[in-house]
Amino acid sequence: MPDPQTMTLRVGSGTAARDLAILRRPGQPPGLFWLGGYRSDMVGGKATALDAFGAARGLAVTRFDYSGHGRSGGDFLEGTISRWLEEALAVFATTQDPQIVVGSSMGGWLALLLNRALRLSGTVRVKAIILIAPAVDMTEELMRKTFTKKELKSLEKRGLVEQPSEYSGEPYPITAGLIEDGAQHLLFGRGIETGCPVTILQGGRDTDVPKEHALRLLSHLLSDPVTFTLVPDGDHRLSREQDLRLLEGAVDRAIADAVPARPSLEL
């Protein structure tokens, strides 16, 4: 199959300008729109599997790296939810036709924020949302509230917390700017309306986004069809072969819901 096309999109102006790297696979609708997690990139296992899925079915696929991530420009330590949401909206605006948005971890939170912003603007091209270990409100619920006294002091004095990461030899940096900005985008505490079907895939052994967190999100989705799948032995990444097959099945179902059935010919 041919490689996806590489594109660059400039977002912001002045000192806030940054160049985003995009990988786009041309194809038929509905398109698949990928939103990765914190410190992940667009060539990870799930993103690559989603692209291969789209290629096999002739679907358009859009992936990109947030600023400070992967191939994109910008300083990671300047990253905030507002900044990355602005980028997601800018990249989404370069797509056409109905889209199925797939968000992993932080990308799950951004998927819901993206959809809300689009609906408020009158854009209704998101036909389904698939969330993998969604880290909704992560800056508050999964970061600030879990910090030790020492980490809270570091956040106050240095503006930065560095935590060990099981996925990298480098520490996991969390800035005061990220925490403070995230407070503007919290979703818990009121109902979340998406206007489209939602699928949640959650690992039972996920220590980064515990299953209880995903169930809390589930309790907020009261107005739209929701499918929740718990993978009892799954971790945060959900990137094993069997996990990727679950993701493909979820996308297949979303496509079936998004594409109207052709009327039968009556003789």
Q: Is 236 a catalytic residue?
A: yes
Q: Is 105 a catalytic residue?
A: yes
| Cβ neighbours of residue 104 closer than 8 Å, sequence gap 6 or more | 35, 36, 37, 40, 46, 131, 132, 133
Name the catalytic one among 51, 137, 236, 239. 236
Instruction: Return d(Cα 17, Cα 132) in angstroms, integer.
Output: 30
Q: 251-255 contacts: CB < 8 A, separation 24 or more?
A: 251/32, 251/50, 251/53, 251/100, 251/102, 251/130, 253/199, 253/227, 254/30, 254/100, 254/127, 254/128, 254/130, 254/197, 254/199, 255/30, 255/57, 255/59, 255/100
Instruction: Return d(Cα 211, Cα 176) in angstroms, integer.
Output: 26
Q: Is 206 a catalytic residue?
A: yes
Name the catalytic one among 206, 208, 239, 243. 206
CA distances to 16, 37, 141, 156, 181 from 152, rounded to whole Å, are 28, 23, 14, 6, 16
Report the catalytic residues: 105, 206, 236
